[in-house]
Amino acid sequence: MSLQQSGIFHETYKEDMAIFQTPFIKFWMAAFMVLLILFPWINKPLNALVNTNTLYLMNLIGIYIIGAHGLNILTGFTGQISLGHGAFMGVGAYASAILTVKVGIPFWFALPLAGLITALVGMVFGIPSLRLKGLYLAIATMAAQFIIGYAMRNWSTLTGGSTGIVVSSPSFFGISLGDDRSYYYLVYTLVIATTLYTKNLTRTRPGRAFVAIRDRYLAAEVIGVNVWLYRILSFGISSFLVGIAGSLWAHYVLVVNDEAFGIWLSVQYLAMIIIGGMGSVLGGIYGAVFMTLLPILLRIPEHALTQIYPGVFAIFQSMTEGVFGLIIILFLIFEPDGLAARWHTIKNYWKLWPFSY
Amino acid sequence: MRRGILRSKWVVLATAAMLVIALGALGCAKKEEAPKEEAPKEPIVIGGIFDTTGPTSDVGKDYAVAAVDAAEYINANGGVNGRPIEIIANDYAYKPDKAVELYKTYVDQGIFLIQGWGTGDTNALKELVNRDQTVYMSASYDSGLNDPTKTPYNFYVGTSYGDAIRGAMQYVKEVGGKKVVFIYPDHPYGKNPIPAGKAMAEELGLEVGPDQFVALNATDAVSQLTNMKKFNPDWAWIGGTTASTAVIIKDAAKLGLDTKFLINVWGFDENLPKLAGEAANERAYGMAPFTFYGVDVPGMKPILEMHQAKHPDDNHLVRYTQAWVSMMVMWDALKRAETLDGPGVRAALEQVTDFDTGGLTAAPITFTGTDHRPNTTLFIYKVDSTGKQVPVKEVTLERRAEWLGQ
C-alpha cells in the first residue's frame, strides 16, 4: 500500500536518518497535519455522534500524550518502572499554579519552569534507581506518589490544602487561550514538539545509552555507559515532560487540587504505554488515545440502553467499567507488544497485499 | 500491480467513508426522533454528574436515582411552565478528569444547569463554572462553596459541613462534654470542615485532642482509636462516609471506649446500623440536615408515591431525600427564572426565600445574592438502644457573616 520503489536506496546518511522517508509517508503526514489543524472547526457533527465534547477529549488526549511520552522514555526506553508519574504531573501542575498565581510569572515562563522543577523532583526520586530495579523500583517510586500526594494535601501555605489553587487561562499576545479551541492549538503545538523531541532523543547518544541500559545494564556499564548518570537523566527528562503535561492540565481546568493526581493516574499512564507499546514513540500516542477514548465509546451503547431502560441505568454504567477492564485484558493477551506493534503488522500486511508470502 | 493496489486502497477508503457516513446518518436520525415522541415542547436539559460505580457509589446510586425520579415527578406536575425537564444521569466514578469531561460536554451542548456530586470535583470545576456561568448544584456541602463573591454559580441545599461541625461542637457543649477529638480521612470532604470545628471548640472552651486519620476505605481503625483512648475524649467527630464510620464505631466498641461519636452527613444513614450492628447503639449520633427516608412529613408523600410507582422493591436512604430537595429547589427557581440561562437561574435561586421543603430539611431554604448558605439548622439523630435511628434534637447556629465560606 505504500507506493514506493522496490527497495529504498539511500545515498546519504541524512536520507538514511530521515524520519519520514518516502513521498507517500510525507503526503499522508501532511494530510494528517491538515486534519489536525482543521479539527476544531469540523468537530461539531462528531460531538453529536459520540455525545461528548470531542475538542475537550482531544485536548485531554494531547496532554496525556505528552505525559505518556515522558513515561515511555523512562519505562519503555530506559527500562525503569515508575508508579509516581501521576504525582509528578501534579508537581508540574502545582509548580505552574504557584509560579503564576503566587509569584506572578507569566504562563509562558512558568510552563518550562514547571517542567524543570518537576524534572528536579523526578531526579531526586530517581536516585533509588541506582540500586533498585524492576518491582523494587516500582515500589520506591510509588512512595514518591504518596509523599508528594501528602505534601499536596497538607502543605497548605504552598498548595492551598485540599481546596487547591485557582489559576487563570494563559493568553497569547492579548488573545485569551481560555476556550477549548485556542487551547487545542497550544496543546497540539506542544504535542508535536514533544513527539519530535522524543523521536529524536532515541536517536542520540543519551537515547542509545538508555536503550543499552534497558537491554542489559551490566553490558552497558562495561562498554562505558555511565549507568547512574543516564538513569538519573532519564528520570529528569521523563519528569520534565510529565511536568509540562501537568502545567497544561492546570491552566486548562483552572483549578489545581490533589485529587486529580492520585495513584490511579500513575497506573493509567503505565497502562497507556503498555497498551500503546513500550519503547515506541507511536506507542505513547496510541495508548493515550485508546485509554481516553475507550470509556467514551463504551458509553454510547450504555447511553442507548439507558434510553430504553431508564430505570436501571446504574447497572449499565457498572457494566461499562467491567467491559473496559475486559478489553484491556484481551488486549494484553492478544497484543502484548501494544497497539504500535499491531499497527506495524497491519502496515506490513498491506505492503505486499495481495501477494504476501 | 501498482494500479491494482491503488484501486484496492480506494475501495477500502470508500467503504470506510460510507460506513462513517452511514453511522453519522443513523446517529442524526436517532437524535431527532427521540425528543419529538416524548413531548411537544423542547425539554430543559439538566446535566447530571453522579457517582454510581466509584468509591462513593454506595450513597451515590440512590442520589442519582432520586434525581431522575424527581425529574419525572416535576414533568408529571406541569414541568417548568409547561416545558418538561430532562436530566442526563451520567456516571463519573468519582474521577475528577471524567467530571471535567462530562462538564465540558454539557456546556458544549448548551446546558446551563448541572446537578453534581463530590467535594473534590465540584471544587475542581468551580472556575470553569464561574467562567461559563453554569449553575452548579452539588451534593457536596463544602463551606468553601457558599460564598458568592468567590463561587457565584455554586449552590447546594444541605447545611454546610462547616456549620454541621459547629453544630456538633455546640451540642457537645450543651450536653456537658469537655474533650473532643476529630477523626477524618485525608481527603477534601473530610478535611475542609476541620478548621471550622476547631475554632468553634476553642470558642466554646472545649479541649481538643490530637487528630486521627481514618481513610474512606479503611478496614480497621484500632491504632487510631488506641491513640485516641490516651486522650479519652467524651465526644469524637467522624468526617468520613458510612463504610469507614461503621469500621470506627465497631472498633470503638471492641476497645470498650466510652466516647460517643458525632458523624457528618455522608457517614450517617440507614445503612450505618446495618453495617455497625449493635456497636452503633447509643454510640452513633448523626448530623442530619435532611429528614430520613420514609419519615412521616408532608414533603415525603410525593417521594413515597414515586417509590411505589417506579421501584417498590428497592430500599432507599436519606440520600434520596437529599437529591429530591435539590431538584425541588431547582424546579422552583426554573419556574421563576426570567431568562432560561445560567445568570437567569442564578438570579432566581438567589431569590429563594424560606423555601418550604415540607419537613424534608431541618429548616426552610434561603439563598441571597451575598450568602449561599441554604440554612444553618440541623437535626441530630442517634442510634438508640434498640438500633433504631431517632431524632434527638435540632441545633440552630447563628448565620454569622465571618463564617461565610468557612
Mean pLDDT, to the nearest integer, of B31-54? 70
Give B132's contacts in chain A (Cβ within 8 Å).
none
Residues B154 and B76 in one domain: yes
Residues B388 and B371 in one domain: no
Q: How far apart are CA B138 and CA B129, in angstroms?
A: 12
Tens of pLDDT, residue by residue over A228-240, are: 999 999 999 999 9
Confirm or reject contact between B121 and chain A (CB < 8 A). yes
Quote the pLDDT of residue B200.
92
Q: How far is CA B213 from CA A4, A109, A149, B224, B241, in A?
A: 65, 39, 15, 7, 13
Residues B282 and B207 in one domain: yes
Tens of pLDDT, residue by residue over B325-340, are: 999 999 999 988 888 8
Contact call for A318 and B27, based on CB within 8 A: no
Quote the pLDDT of residue A231.
92
Contact call for A259 and B124, based on CB within 8 A: yes
Give A3's contacts in chain B (Cβ within 8 Å).
2, 5-6
Contact call for A313 and B96, based on CB within 8 A: no
Residues B199 and B345 in one domain: no
Quote the pLDDT of residue B1.
39
Residue of A nearest to B89 (CA): A313
Quote the pLDDT of residue A188.
94
DSSP line for B41-110? SPPEEEEEEE-SSSTTHHHHHHHHHHHHHHHHHHHHTTTBTTB-EEEEEEE-TT-HHHHHHHHHHHHHTT
Task: Report the gap between the CA of A108 and the closest CA in chain B (Å).
Answer: 21
Give B65's contacts in chain A (Cβ within 8 Å).
314
For chain A of 357 residues, list the mean pLDDT of each consecutive stretch of 10.
61 80 84 89 81 86 95 92 92 94 90 95 90 86 91 85 80 80 92 93 92 91 91 94 95 85 89 88 91 81 69 65 81 84 84 71
- Indicate the residue of A53, A166, A355 with minimum beta-carbon distance to B104: A53
Interface of B with A in 321-380 (CB under 8 A): none
Q: Tell whether B337 is covered by a domain.
A: yes
Quote the pLDDT of residue B187.
80
Residues B251 and B265 in one domain: yes
Quote the pLDDT of residue B18.
58
Quote the pLDDT of residue B12.
59
Q: Tell whether B72 is covered by a domain.
A: yes
Residues B317 and B330 in one domain: yes
Residue type, A296: I
Confidence of residue B38 (pLDDT cuts 50, 70, 90): very low
Q: Where are the domains of chain A?
A: 19-50, 51-351
Q: How many CA atoms lie within 13 A of B39 on its CB side?
A: 17
C-alpha cell at position A147: 509523599
Give B101's contacts in chain A (Cβ within 8 Å).
52-53, 56-57, 60, 296
Task: Report the gap between the CA of A283 and the closest CA in chain B (Å).
Answer: 22
**Four-residue CA torsion sign, A278, A284, A286, A291:** positive
Query: Residue B118: which CATH number?
Result: 3.40.50.2300
CA proximity to B269, closest of B158, B112, B153: B158
Q: For A69-106, b where at least 16 C-beta lie within 10 A, e where not — what string?
A: bbbbbbbbbbbbbbbbbbbbbbbbbbbbbbbbbeeebe
Residue type, A269: Y
Mean pLDDT, to the nearest integer, of B300-310? 86
Task: Report the gap between the CA of A344 and the closest CA in chain B (Å).
Answer: 17
- Indicate the residue of B96, B104, B187 with minimum beta-carbon distance to A56: B104
Residues B282 and B322 in one domain: no
Q: Tell whether B65 is covered by a domain.
A: yes
Tens of pLDDT, residue by residue over B64-114, are: 988 998 999 999 888 888 889 999 888 888 888 788 888 988 988 889 999
Contact call for A311 and B2, based on CB within 8 A: no
Contact call for A313 and B89, based on CB within 8 A: yes
Residue of A nearest to B127 (CA): A254
Mean pLDDT, to the nearest integer, of B204-209? 92
Give B191's contacts in chain A (Cβ within 8 Å).
153, 161-162
Quote the pLDDT of residue B36.
43
Residues B135 and B259 in one domain: no
Task: Report the gap between the CA of B282 and the closest CA in chain A (Å).
Answer: 33
Rounded to two decimals, the ipTM of the complex is 0.73
Confidence of residue B2 (pLDDT cuts 50, 70, 90): very low
DSSP line for B204-249? HT-EE---EE--TT-S--HHHHHHHHHH--SEEEE-S-HHHHHHHH
Task: Report the gap between the CA of A282 and the closest CA in chain B (Å).
Answer: 23
CA proximity to A237, closest of A94, A51, A72, A8: A72
Residues B144 and B251 in one domain: no
Q: How many CA atoms lie within 13 A of B182 on its CB side?
A: 25
Give B9's contacts in chain A (Cβ within 8 Å).
1
Q: Count of A–B CB contacts within 8 Å? A: 115
The gap from C-alpha B274 to its chain's centroid, in whole angstroms, comes to 22
Residues B256 and B353 in one domain: no
Domain of residue B352: give its range: 44-159+296-375
- Indicate the residue of B27, B97, B109 with minimum beta-carbon distance to A260: B97
Residues B185 and B251 in one domain: yes
Q: Which one is predicted more confidently, B2 or A198?
A: A198
Residues B155 and B303 in one domain: yes
Give A295's contacts in chain B (Cβ within 8 Å).
98
Q: Tell whether B22 is covered by a domain.
A: no
Mutate which: A169, A259, A350, vs B, most B CBs within 10 A: A259
Q: Tell whether B39 is covered by a domain.
A: no
CATH of A51-351, one of 3.30.450, 1.10.3470, 3.30.2010, 1.10.3210: 1.10.3470
Residue of B nearest to A254 (CA): B127
Tens of pLDDT, residue by residue over B124-174, are: 888 889 888 999 999 999 888 888 888 899 999 989 999 999 999 999 999
Mutate which: A162, A167, A257, A318, vs B, most B CBs within 10 A: A162
Q: Could you tell me how many residues make up chain A?
A: 357
Contact call for B2 and A3, based on CB within 8 A: yes
What proportion of chain B, given as a percentage, has pLDDT over 70?
A: 90
Q: How far apart are CA A76 and CA A225, in angstroms?
A: 18
Tens of pLDDT, residue by residue over B361-388, are: 888 999 988 889 998 898 899 998 888 8
- How many domains does chain B divide into? 2
Quote the pLDDT of residue B128.
87
Q: How far apart are CA A284 and CA A277, in angstroms?
A: 7
Does residue A19 contact residue A199 with C-beta atoms inside 8 Å? yes
Confirm or reject contact between B48 and chain A (CB < 8 A). no
